[in-house]
Amino acid sequence: MDIREKIKRVGVVGCGTMGSGITQVCAQSGYKTIVSETNEELLKKGIASIESFLKKGIERGKITQQEKESTLANIKGVNDLTYFSDCDLVIEAVSEDLNLKKRIFTDLDRICPEHTVLGTNTSNLCIMEIASATKRQEKVLGLHFMNPVPLIRLVELVKSIVTSNETLEVVKEFTKSLGKEFIVASDTPGFIVNRLNSPFMLNAIRMFEAGIGSIEDIDRAATLGLNHPMGPFTLMDFGGLDMMYSSVRQRYEELPIPEFMPPPLLKRMVYAGRFGRKTGKGWYEYNEKGEKIGVMKLEKVSKSL
């Protein structure tokens, strides 16, 4: 299958952390890519993050100035979903809000041609429920990229009970054309990656709550003992504790097994506003450059509640 005959133009809904990363890898792989945001300010911020990432790539000798320019030339930023009317694949990458995603998919279903495949970057929500907002349920599936998108090679493809094999094969070839590897998961809570990773991170919190180890020592156990690139607390801060808390609650509601139950401290961290790097405080504390400058002491959280 020559995938570039089937997919000539890609659309990405949302230009936040995930959307900008997905936009970058699509454009960098030679696809004409349209990315939408709700307003010009958010759009400019997302495009600026792509430019910054590419600039760092030049400084590290990973890409050339010409590659940066050609990537940016492949990107078109818009504030209206109607621009996706000639896209062959659209990937939604907005926040984990089921009703918002369903509204977007209803609009995309109306705007896009019949052949267009619609993907969602959700890490947690039911693909079938999102697909139910369309009249092309067989052409809807999950395309779960990992954060940071340009650096992590894996994409989790999630097939609902009605996703066609043809749709899955097209997206497999597309994923390979991005230089990524894929795994195929069924449409169950957490899919594969988060079904593995969430209990690991939640258990790290429980260990800290129980006084088994410090935040820093548990992280060091994961990086030095298990060869993980990040410890669980560093990873939670990177992704955002608010997002994690929301996703594990949804997962536990659908599949109420003990390993998915949010620990009490995670809830209290969220209500204390300690979301991680984006707020400057999570399990660790950060400066304006996002560099660690300290570690949380449990009494700090207790006093802030």
Catalytic site positions: 123, 144, 156, 194
Pairing of strands 75-78, 154-159: unpaired
Task: Please say whether the beta carbons of 238 and 147 come within 8 A.
Answer: yes
Cα gap 11→112, rounded to integer Å? 10
For residue 12, the cross-strand partners are: 35, 91
- Classified as helix, coil or strand, 154 is strand
| Of the candidates 197, 123, 126, 200, the residue with the CA atom closest to the CA atom of residue 156 | 123
Q: How deeply is 268 buried, as exposed, middle or buried, from its count of CB atoms within 10 A (0-12, 13-18, 19+)?
A: middle
Tokens (6 digits) for 24? 């970058």
